[in-house]
Amino acid sequence: MAKALSNNVYYEYERSGALVIIIRASMSCNALCTHCSTPPQKTYLLPDKAAIAVKNTVMLYEELNHEYPREIDIVFHGGEPMLLGTAYVTDLAYLMNKQMADVNIVYGMQTNLLLYNDWRKLLGSNMFSWRITSSYDFFSSFRKTKDGRNYFDTWYDKVKQYQDDSGKRLYTICVLSRENVNRVDEIMEQAYSYGLNIKLNMLYSAGKAKQMEKSLYITQEEYGDALIRAYRIWKTYNNSGFLFAQGYDFENIVNHGKPAGCPYISSCVGNIFCLLPDGTLYPVSYTHLTLPTIYSV
């Protein structure tokens, strides 16, 4: 089945240079991963407040870039954004369309997929066009469900439904740590055979991960070495539709002089903003800078 799947277009949007607004309306999650970087927060951003904040973000973008955005890429993030319910997203979309009728708004989501059944209709609609990303860390003990079910089995069951419904590979982020860095060849082979596209991130110290054993963190040299090994495996699948995000970036540098590493790199300055549950907004390239309660400006 994997060979018949096409690419998830999320990847192209990620590199489009359009205004990206990441909405983290709630940090609640229905999973219990031990390396979760999301700090617990009780606050929740209502759709009407989020719509005003988005509009204000567009005004800020205009101020920084001296042009009105032709397109806005809204990415729902969390916590687990599916917990917001589909009505949250459709209400917010309605309000944003009313306020900004002259701009094209596209939607995406980073999700653990556990509530996929409730969302499949909306994800397949013109709003999302199946543009979602998910995460799974192969050969790692970090991913946990709340009810003790095996994380991979629970997650992959939803992945298969997504693949059947959309006909697309699922863009999946895999965290590399001491537990799995030496198995990167197998990670690439599994990603291919499970019908995934893959991005390899390194474990970083944030949220719950700060309390983890220091020995679980890998060095930048180990990470770089793992990416090279992953690239070599990926090349053996050339032209199969299987995407390795960092491999693709690497080839873009060599062939076209495009930036690599973080997909946004220089294009993120003034383009990517993250909206938090308490209404604060931060420009992603300046994470030390937050703008207070922009929805009330």
Question: Contact with ligand SF4 (CB under 6 A): which of 20, 22, 33, 82?
Answer: 33
- Contact call for residue 175 and ligand SF4 (CB under 6 A): no
Report CA torsion sign: 139, 144, 150, 156: negative
Give DSSP secondary structure letters for 189-243: HHHHHTTEEEEEEE----GGGGGS-GGGSPPHHHHHHHHHHHHHHHHTTTTSS--
In whole angstroms, what is the distance from residue 30 CA to residue 260 CA? Answer: 33
Question: Contact with ligand SF4 (CB under 6 A): which of 19, 21, 22, 36?
Answer: 36
Nearer to ligand SF4 among residue 38 and residue 163 (C-beta)? 38
Nearer to ligand SF4 among residue 22 and residue 233 (C-beta)? 22
SS (H, E, C) 104-172: EEEEEEECCCCCHHHHHHHHCCCCCCCCEEEECCCCCCCCCECCCCCHHHHHHHHHHHHHHHHCECEEE
Could you check whether the bond before residue 148 is cis, i.e. omega within 30 degrees of 0? no
Number of residues that bind ligand SF4 (CB under 6 A): 10
Q: Cβ 140 to ligand SF4, closest distance in Å? A: 12
- Contact call for residue 31 and ligand SF4 (CB under 6 A): yes
223, 202 Cβ separation under 8 angstroms = yes
Nearer to ligand SF4 among residue 27 and residue 58 (C-beta)? 27
Nearer to ligand SF4 among residue 16 and residue 41 (C-beta)? 41
Question: Contact with ligand SF4 (CB under 6 A): which of 8, 57, 112, 129?
Answer: 112
Q: Cβ 133 to ligand SF4, closest distance in Å? A: 11
In whole angstroms, what is the distance from residue 74 CA to residue 13 CA? Answer: 10
- Contact call for residue 80 and ligand SF4 (CB under 6 A): yes
Give the interface segment with ligand SF4, choosing from 29-37, 64-72, 123-131, 154-162 (CB under 6 A). Answer: 29-37
Contact string 40-79 vs ligand SF4 (x = CB under 6 A) = --------------------------------------xx
Q: Site residues (CB under 6 A) for ligand SF4?
A: 29, 31-33, 36, 38, 78-80, 112
